[in-house]
Structure 1
Amino acid sequence: MRHFAVIGSGPAGFYTAEALLKAYGDQARIDILDRLPVPYGLIRFGVAPDHQSIKAVAKRYEKVALEEGARFLGNVHLGADVSIEEMLSLYDAVVLATGAPHDRRLGIPGDDLPGVLGSAAFVGWYNGHPDFADLDPPLDGAAAAIIGNGNVALDVARILSKTPAEFVGSDIVSHAFEALGQSAIRTISILGRRGPQQIAMTPKELGELGHLADAQPVVEPADLPPVDTDAALDPGQRKSVGHLRDFAAAADTAKPKRILFDFFARPLAVEGHGRAERLVVERTALQPDGTAEGTGETYLIPCSLVVSCIGYATPAIPGVPYDDRLGRFPNEGGRIADRLYAVGWARRGPTGTIGTNRPDGYEVAEQIAALFPADGADSGRRGGEGLDAILKLRGCDPVEFHDWQKIEAAEVAAARAGAPREKLVRVEQMLKVRHD
């Protein structure tokens, strides 16, 4: 029997567990650990609440968790409840699938003022992440600024712009639903250092902005390059730029909110007395090599909320090599050290889609299978039995998958009209339901 541990129950973790189960059949036992009592990571806490079709992939992960050779153990914190050294002594291989849940700082003066938030925090707030349930973002001002030109920036802009009726069918948590319903924000600026042809926004997500009930996306026609230059773009990017061209050509409407695309814009500082009040921005110019350089021209954007969508970092784990510059674990093809691997964002940084994690997990599983053939000699490691003994000794209270199913049932039962669930946002609540 082989024993493997996967640390993290998001897409990368479950795809890795799935691959290991396929490689070993009934000759392996796989423990999937998570710091939180609930599984699915990015699917639960990162995917926008109004994108339920994407969240449906959790059904695939559920099948993995219910396999005889797999076990989910939530509420277990690697580094606090059990060390990496102990895990490696118990398991044949340990795979880190911890994602990249930490926001990168803006790194400009004033980025620590109240009202300046990272996207992981803001998205976690409206998605019910326990770490951000008490965030209370300032929605009392008339304007917000979003820094970044990727899909997360679009998610944040869309969520800030929607009417309560447009959240029907979503699983946005009640504290965010109610706060957003009272929001005074009417102008949302999306800033990018480069131009329309350099955005990292996909067509579907960009196109959604054109169908909002109360908000109109606005693009300055002068920011768009000649239309014939779009031919050099790949089809997806060309379609995305096409949406921007449509926004630029659209007639002005009477909708009360505006989503302003501010291209060629580099934030220099956040200013305000005790809280964010305005963003100091420098106009940039695109260089022949595709980079953006400042022109020296500056201007102000009034805003009481600034959401930075510029990237994420993987948290360090005691005893595991870490690259501070890249914000992830240094590795070669997923291998960090002897019998220690990384997958997903913990391996390659916050890039790619949810589906990108599948080949990533399968590649690492193949490496493990080559090192430990299914028909090879038993290593004698204790695996889950040994872990259970350590956790019991330390008073840790693991949540297994049948416990999660109780939590899920309670969330479904508590859903407001038109919502699939009402997420529990406190670890204590989750554990109470589990014990009840």
Structure 2
Amino acid sequence: MASYNSRQFLLRLSRQIHKCQRRLYTNNNAVPHVAIIGSGPAGFYTAQQLLKGHSSIKVDIYEKLPVPFGLVRFGVAPDHPEVKNVINTFTQTAENERCSFMGNITIGKDITVADLQKAYTAVVLSYGADADRTLGIPGEDLPNVISARALVGWYNGLPHDKNLNVDLSCKTAVILGHGNVALDVARILLTPISILAKTDISQHSLDVLSKSNIKKVYVVGRRGPLQVAFTIKELREMIHLPECKTIIHKDDVAHLQPLIEKLPRPRRRLTDLLYKTGCTPSEKDLKLWASAKRQWELQFLKSPTKIVPTDDKKIKSVSFTKNTLQGDDIVNQKAISTEHTEEIECGLVLRSIGYKSVPIDNTIPFDAKRGIIPNENGRVTGVSGLYCSGWVGLGPVGVILSTMTDGFNTGKLILKDIESGLIRHVPKSGKEKILPVLNEKGVKVVNFMDWKQIDKTETQKGETVGKPREKITSIEEMIHATKT
């Protein structure tokens, strides 16, 4: 009986402590402050969930660049304006009186994660995946061997990619990879300049693309048509691209017909389109292709082994080993090299085999092999009050919708940890503790009103040339625009 009473006492005590902790956080003098590093989709969706789920929480979003929205601004293709509509939702979040955008701040240089941890109840790492995965083959360092990520940054006006040296004087390009980014860059290389000129593509890239000699683009993957990572929307756009012919060899897809109905729906629809395009193209497509000035070709079951140079150290060709597939799960089969080889002559090689994150502060746990911050459902492993959302924790997978889900889940997790007392309660002052440090260092902090001025300047410049906006590609000019 004594033992039972003791347990009852401890249970009541635990409940009283929990109630006290909850009262602490609902007290106006104990408002939780959360710092989010990164203003892309992962950061904004996490902020949105935090603000929605707690009536007094304050959220500060830190961004390295003076402009917000990350991958939506610098990763979404310029001819996909509808995808960028999510910026309207992010703007509503940033305009919440309990949310602050703080741009032009480099974490790890201007301020450290440790500094933020002292000033905030919780810190969320949402800075994405900015580095490239490499091939590790001879010739990869030749001029005009370029990462697709860098090319995307180049035509989207990312400041540190604006001076990328892209030579489009050759007639043939090879893109290595079968993801959406691979098809994005192929489409930009092959889209008529009259169409691109009406988008928000950066002017410096438009000038180069207008003089392009590219007439053929190979999109090459190491596995087969059942393992491609691009989506049906991206493939359909390529098939219907004006003035461009699609080549999908019948021998590569004819065997798919009896398998199609057995596949999960998204994969089934994609595979059906691959099959029909290669085996039974429509009259409409045949008519479009008959007058095409350019073409693109899907190639399967090839892994690059070497980028062959010319005598003057330019690109001559790409050497491939042909692969075969092994494994019982037909959608997840592995590519196995054979002794057969092939070469494709070209003058431009774009590497599109994935991104990875990098550590921004040496105090953050980091898995260099996987290129992510080790975490358990968003809680950074071994560090109380430190969280992550988006690609920096998941790896570079999925689209904006999957990033939204992860951002929401991380936000809910933080709120749960605050409510339960898992995050130890110590009153924090948030940005009020950080701003004096940045001011002392002479860092110009760009707020959301400043961004609106940059936005206004860009849209006004765009109107003069018939574009939705003309992006400012210099950080100095962005800062200057905040003062006009």
TM-score of the superposed pair, with normalisation by structure 1 = 0.97
- Unaligned runs of at least 5 residues, structure 1: none
Task: State how 1:375-394 maps to structure 2 within 5 Å.
Answer: 379-394=426-441
Within the alignment, does 1:365 sit opposite 2:423 as a pair? Answer: no
Q: Number of aligned pairs?
A: 435
- Deviation, 1:393, is 1.4
2:297 corresponds to 1:260: yes
Contact 1:2 1:374 survives alignment (8 Å): no
Q: Which amino acid aligns with 1:170?
A: T
Q: Distance in 2 between matches of 1:391 and 1:70?
A: 19
1:7-18, aligned counterparts within 5 Å?
7-18=37-48
Q: Could you say which structure has the larger radius of gyration?
A: 2
Alpha-carbon shift at residue 35 of structure 1 (Å): 0.3
Q: Distance in 1 between matches of 2:340 and 2:416?
A: 58
- AA aligned opposite 1:361: G
Tell me whether 1:320 sits opposite 2:350 in the alignment: no
Moved more, 277-286 or 54-63: 277-286
Alignment of 1:131-280 (within 5 A): 131-224=160-253, 225-249=255-279, 250=281, 251=286, 253-273=290-310, 274-280=313-319
Deviations 1:3-38 (A, max 9, x none): 11000000000000001101212x111110100000
2:337 partner SS: strand
- The code of the aligned residue for 1:280 comes to S
What is the match of residue 285 of structure 1? 324
Counterpart of 1:56? 85
Question: Share of identical aligned residues, percent?
Answer: 37
- Give the CA deviation at 1:228: 1.1
Aligned twin of 1:78: 107
C-alpha displacement of 1:211: 1.7
Tell me the CA shift for residue 275 of structure 1: 2.7
Structure with a larger share of its residues in helix: 2
- Partners of 2:263 and 2:161 lie apart in 1 by 39
Please state how far the C-alpha of 1:381 moved relative to its aligned partner. 1.6
What is the letter of the counterpart of residue 284 of structure 1? N
Instruction: Establish whether residue 42 from structure 1 lines up as the match of residue 71 from structure 2.
Output: yes
Q: Deviations over 1:386-430 (max 9, x none)?
A: 110111111111100000000000000001544210000110110
Q: Secondary structure at the match of 1:364?
A: helix
Residue 111 (structure 1) shift: 1.1
Q: Which residue number in structure 1 is paired with residue 21 of structure 2?
A: none
Shift of 1:170: 1.8
3-state SS of paired residue (1:404): helix
Please give the alpha-carbon distance, in whole angstroms, between the structure 2 residues aligned to 1:245 and 1:370. 48
1:378 is displaced (CA, Å) by 6.2
Cα shift readout 1:244-292 (whole Å, capped 9, x = no counterpart): 2233244462312110111111111112142322111111111234111
Q: Distance in 2 between matches of 1:277 and 1:395?
A: 49
Could you tell me whether the CA contact under 8 Å between 1:162 and 1:212 is conserved in 2?
A: yes
Within the alignment, does 1:301 sit opposite 2:344 as a pair? yes
Change (3 A) 1:244 1:226: closer
Q: Please name the residue that 2:4 is paired with.
A: none
Report the equivalent of 2:52.
Answer: 22
Query: Shift in Å at residue 367 of structure 1?
Result: 2.0
Contact 1:149 1:201 in 2 (8 A): yes
2:144 touches 2:165 (CA, 8 Å); kept in 1?
no
SS at match of 2:319: strand
The secondary structure found in structure 2 opposite 1:212 is coil
8 Å CA contact 1:11–1:43 kept in 2: the answer is yes
Determine if contact 1:24/1:374 at 8 Å carries over to the other structure.
no
**Could you tell me which residue of structure 1 aligns to residue 373 of structure 2?**
329
Per-residue deviation, 1:110: 1.2
Q: 1:80-132 deviations in whole A, cap 9, x for unaligned?
A: 10011111001010000000011111111111111111111010000000010
1: distance between equivalents of 2:240 and 2:417? 52
State the distance in 1 between where 2:440 and 2:316 align: 51
1:2–1:379: 8 Å Cα contact kept in structure 2?
no
Q: 1:425 aligns with which of 469, 473, 476?
A: 473
Q: Could you say what the CA RMSD is over the residues aligned between the two structures, in angstroms?
A: 1.6
- Kindly indicate whether residue 145 of structure 2 is the aligned counterpart of residue 116 of structure 1: yes
**Partner of 2:116: helix, strand, or coil?**
helix
TM-score (norm 2): 0.87
The answer to whether 1:345 aligns with 2:391 is: yes
1:407 corresponding residue in structure 2: 454
Letter in 1 for 2:434: L
Q: Is the contact made by 2:256 and 2:275 (CA closer than 8 Å) also made in structure 1?
A: no
